Chains A and B, each alone.
Chain A
């Protein structure tokens, strides 16, 4: 049952072929049995209570499309009364006193929270190897990484442990693990989904979105997640369209842009072949395709690694060992309390980024680094706007390679950062992007990235859905899936 999509499970639940309690119990058991290390916490008691209340609503005929659907939350989302670790020793003991807006909205829509998924510490990583709770394995090959930072969410959905999960994407953290695990993952427009209760990494880039088995499921989930929230001042007040009802549009008349910079050196040839084959499918479905250029694309990783660490150094200054989180033993004085609590609580990658951020914001360096990065960010955004004057959507690879081996890039932060070469720019420009499975290279999944203009989620989801009507890559499951 757990290998079905939300759209299919919703039907089965409403026809009473299966109960939410049965689905939830199956998802809890699959999570407990799995050796992939996808979950930091399973929420058995609360999940079964939520499932029973969903079953009551189903019996009363009051069910919506998500009523009774088991779901996992990335452990970056605060969940009231449930441990929320953000993959860090710093928050190992943190039980949130409130729910994130995303958690609240999905619960109100009837979703059942099965558990909290593993992730790179504070969402800083592209391989899920920086988690304090250990690495997550890729279900297609357990010696390989699932991508990151939403690695636990992506691996759990791919392994059929749960039909869908939430994630966050600051530089590719939904799209890249979705690509490496062979599932669909959507990063919405900046400000489309509330960031309230989502532990902040880089506030001008962070955005929450769904990871699921199909674009249609992403559309259903986004509809429940999106919308204005007065508790997040960056959340845009704009009506939420019915994404699911926008999925039936033909692709005829749509123009897709292929940025030549996304198909150059550094792209694995077999990944490029799968992406080109996917573009042929979209073209056969009626879309016209033309080459475009995003000339300042090569500046996106340098600009990102100023802006993101700068914001992280500021956001993570709240972890001081005083009000919540890890506190060192027997501090000598207040400075010792701060330094040792933070030194013990944070892992190496988080420390690197805090130090880079502290440095680029420090007196005398601000103009050369931070101000320059914000100017470059504007140039990158201008490139996208020039492209969107000619095309409706931009398509290309999500990641330059398939899933890499565990340990391959852990000693080389810069090599790890380059995993996100096709995704970073989208965050810098605040655009929506989706990754959908488009084939295999060496037995490992390849992701196709589709990028839209601001608030163009409906068009983007429709293109992805039309692609999935013509292909079955999103139906392929790893052999060791829970079934």
Chain B
């Protein structure tokens, strides 16, 4: 299928990306070109093929459920854009 300007605007919304309206036509063109490239694999015969879950067919290792990291709140919040009393600040969500 081919994406139109409304589709691209909706995808940008889903991805929480602000796109300059002037840039939408270029994104429409680029995304359609990329999807055209991608669709070359659409006809590949894949009946009975298991989708790859891991290139080495390895399984996720498990470990004991215990705390292994120390408290680094101060160091981690030092790089936050806005904090107060150890909390991250965002615009008001609930009126």
A residues adjacent to B (C-beta < 8 A): 93-95, 97, 189-191, 204, 230, 233-234, 236-237, 296, 298-299, 301-303, 305-306, 313, 317, 320-325, 327, 331-340, 342-344, 346, 348, 351-352, 354-356, 358-360, 362, 368-369, 371-379, 381, 412-414, 417, 428-431, 454
State the CA gap A362–B3 with chains docked (Å).
14
Which residue among B23, B37, B39 has the maximum number of chain A CB atoms within 10 Å of its CB?
B37
- Let me know if A343 and B18 touch, CB within 8 A: yes
**Least distance between A166 CB and chain B CB atoms (Å):** 21
Name 5 interchain pairs, CB-CB below 8 A, sorted by A: A313-B15, A343-B18, A343-B19, A352-B31, A378-B51
State the CA gap A371–B37 with chains docked (Å).
17
Q: For residue A338, which residues in chain B have a CB less than 8 angstroms away from its CB?
A: 16
State the CA gap A299–B8 with chains docked (Å).
26
Known: A343-B17, A346-B17. A190 touches B55 (CB 8 A): yes
Count of A-B residue pairs with CB < 8 Å:
169
Dominant SS at the A interface? helix
Q: For residue B60, which residues in chain A have a CB less than 8 angstroms away from its CB?
A: 233
- Let me know if A97 and B78 touch, CB within 8 A: yes
Known: A237-B61, A333-B91, A414-B33. A430 touches B15 (CB 8 A): no
Chain A's closest residue to B26 (CB) is: A348
State the CA gap A237–B14 with chains docked (Å).
38
Q: For residue A302, which residues in chain B have a CB less than 8 angstroms away from its CB?
A: 37-41
Is B86's CB within 8 Å of the partner chain A? no
- Let me know if A306 and B38 touch, CB within 8 A: yes
Is B67's CB within 8 Å of the partner chain A? no
The one of B20, B49, B61 in contact with A375, judged by C-beta atoms closer than 8 angstroms, is: B49
- Let me know if B34 and A414 touch, CB within 8 A: yes
Is B54's CB within 8 Å of the partner chain A? yes
Q: For residue B12, which residues in chain A have a CB less than 8 angstroms away from its CB?
A: 351, 355
- Let me know if A413 and B30 touch, CB within 8 A: yes
Chain B's closest residue to A304 (CB) is: B38
Q: For residue B76, which residues in chain A have a CB less than 8 angstroms away from its CB?
A: 97, 323
- Let me know if A322 and B16 touch, CB within 8 A: no
State the CA gap A339–B46 with chains docked (Å).
38
Q: For residue A93, which residues in chain B have a CB less than 8 angstroms away from its CB?
A: 79
Q: A324-B79, A339-B16, A356-B38 are in contact. List 18 more A-B contacts (CB 8 A).
A: A97-B72, A190-B56, A191-B58, A204-B55, A233-B61, A302-B39, A306-B41, A322-B88, A334-B93, A337-B91, A351-B17, A352-B27, A359-B35, A376-B41, A379-B46, A379-B49, A412-B33, A428-B55
- Let me know if A378 and B52 touch, CB within 8 A: yes
Is B22's CB within 8 Å of the partner chain A? no
- Let me know if B91 and A334 touch, CB within 8 A: yes
Q: For residue A354, which residues in chain B have a CB less than 8 angstroms away from its CB?
A: 15, 17
The one of B34, B37, B42, B88 in contact with A352, judged by C-beta atoms closer than 8 angstroms, is: B34
The one of B34, B63, B75 in contact with A305, judged by C-beta atoms closer than 8 angstroms, is: B34
**Least distance between B6 CB and chain A CB atoms (Å):** 13
Q: For residue B3, which residues in chain A have a CB less than 8 angstroms away from its CB?
A: 359
Is B90's CB within 8 Å of the partner chain A? yes
Contact indicator per residue, chain B 56-73, by CB within 8 Å of chain A (1) or not (0) = 101011010000000010
Q: For residue A339, which residues in chain B have a CB less than 8 angstroms away from its CB?
A: 13, 16-18
Known: A322-B80, A342-B16. A373 touches B90 (CB 8 A): no
**Least distance between A310 CB and chain B CB atoms (Å):** 11
**Least distance between B52 CB and chain A CB atoms (Å):** 4
State the CA gap A346–B12 with chains docked (Å).
13
State the CA gap A354–B16 with chains docked (Å).
10
The one of B30, B54, B90 in contact with A322, judged by C-beta atoms closer than 8 angstroms, is: B90
State the CA gap A325–B36 with chains docked (Å).
34
- Let me know if A334 and B90 touch, CB within 8 A: yes
State the CA gap A298–B20 with chains docked (Å).
35
The one of A337, A340, A375, A379 in contact with B90, judged by C-beta atoms closer than 8 angstroms, is: A337
Chain A's closest residue to B39 (CB) is: A302
Contact indicator per residue, chain B 73-95, by CB within 8 Å of chain A (1) or not (0) = 00110111110000010111100
State the CA gap A70–B20 with chains docked (Å).
43
State the CA gap A94–B76 with chains docked (Å).
11
State the CA gap A190–B46 with chains docked (Å).
24
- Let me know if A372 and B79 touch, CB within 8 A: no
Chain B's closest residue to A370 (CB) is: B51
Chain A's closest residue to B88 (CB) is: A322
Q: For residue A317, which residues in chain B have a CB less than 8 angstroms away from its CB?
A: 16
Q: For residue A430, which residues in chain B have a CB less than 8 angstroms away from its CB?
A: 54-56
**Least distance between A345 CB and chain B CB atoms (Å):** 10
Q: For residue B2, which residues in chain A have a CB less than 8 angstroms away from its CB?
A: none
State the CA gap A302–B15 with chains docked (Å).
22
The one of A233, A344, A356 in contact with B31, judged by C-beta atoms closer than 8 angstroms, is: A356
**Least distance between A379 CB and chain B CB atoms (Å):** 6
Chain A's closest residue to B77 (CB) is: A323
- Let me know if A352 and B52 touch, CB within 8 A: no
Known: A414-B37, A430-B55. A355 touches B17 (CB 8 A): yes
- Let me know if B37 and A301 touch, CB within 8 A: yes
State the CA gap A332–B14 with chains docked (Å).
18
- Let me know if B34 and A356 touch, CB within 8 A: yes
Chain A's closest residue to B83 (CB) is: A323
- Let me know if B19 and A332 touch, CB within 8 A: no
- Let me know if B14 and A362 touch, CB within 8 A: yes
Q: For residue B42, which residues in chain A have a CB less than 8 angstroms away from its CB?
A: 368, 372
Chain B's closest residue to A339 (CB) is: B18
